[in-house]
Amino acid sequence: MPVDAVVLFLRERGHDIKHPEILGLPVTTGRSERTIDRAQEQLTEALVNGDEDLCRGIVLDAYLANHRLSTICDQVICRAFQSIGNLWSCGDVEVFEERRACEICVSVLHELKRLIPSPDKSAPSAMGGTTNGDPYTLANGMVELVLREVGWNATSLGCGLPFDSMQSAIERHRPQLFWLSVSVIDDAPCFVNGMNQLFETARSSGTALAIGGRAIESEIRQNIRYTSFCDLMEHLDGFASSLRRSTTSPG
């Protein structure tokens, strides 16, 4: 049986996992607290200490406890990075510790991708990334996972994409959904212009445009066009689930 099917079975039945190493999971799987608040505190500490196995175990335990990926992303991983950002700005965490935490997180997100059941061949497609000058990889990786969990065939195009290349991707692949994660805006007028052109391309291709990220402040939002703005992965989870139902429902 493939590992994603075994993990799905364990999640749905709430069974404990006795020998995680047989499934290629870290030996710490099944040892950490399954409550979300405690998981966030444990993850912050494990990330700062660079304990990759423990980080993988904490996140996988939350997943095996049947928490939605969007909840794990918002309430465990994102909050852990907020704490790390605060510790860094107070000088209590070194730059190398923060960077190492990001590396670990990227590998944990890859591992989660392996454990989510693959979308059906007939699943609607989604793609997206971050724009020019935006190096923030984590939120972008999370969007891909959250969409896959709700049955989308989601593919990240990566970070630092020029707007015209995103338009080409939409025209060539005509995905039902395109996302943009925006953590940095270098040049607001250029961003607004790029977004509005992207929206026009998306509209003429029948593609919904979902955006989110800390850099989209209300003044920017008022000047750009999009289909859905999400503060959280949990919002995307709800939006993408209902869009998927309307995309795939007969008639």
Report the C-alpha gap between 43 and 39 in whole angstroms.
6
10 versus 75: smaller Cβ distance to ligand B12? 75
Q: Binding to ligand B12 by residue 29, rule CB under 6 A? A: no
Report the C-alpha gap between 136 and 214 in whole angstroms.
11
10 versus 52: smaller Cβ distance to ligand B12? 52
What's the start-to-end Cα distance of the chain, in Å? 36
Q: Contacting ligand B12 (CB under 6 A), which of 26, 213, 224, 243?
A: 213
Q: Binding to ligand B12 by residue 14, rule CB under 6 A? A: no
Please count the residues of the chain.
251
Q: Contacting ligand B12 (CB under 6 A), which of 8, 65, 184, 220?
A: 184
Question: Interface residues for ligand B12 in 86-145 (CB under 6 A)?
Answer: 86, 89, 98, 102, 135-139, 142-143
229: DSSP letter: E
Minimum distance from CB of 194 to ligand B12 (Å)?
A: 16
Question: Interface residues for ligand B12 in 140-169 (CB under 6 A)?
Answer: 142-143
Kindly give the pairing relationship between strand 125-131 and strand 228-230.
Answer: unpaired
Q: Binding to ligand B12 by residue 212, rule CB under 6 A? A: yes
Q: What is the 3-state secondary structure (H, E, C) of 173-230?
A: HCCCEEEEECCCCCCHHHHHHHHHHHHHHHHHCCCEEEEECCCCCHHHHHHCCCCEEE
Q: What residues make contact with ligand B12 under the rule CB under 6 A?
A: 73-74, 78, 81-82, 84-86, 89, 98, 102, 135-139, 142-143, 179, 181, 183-184, 210-214, 230, 232-233, 236
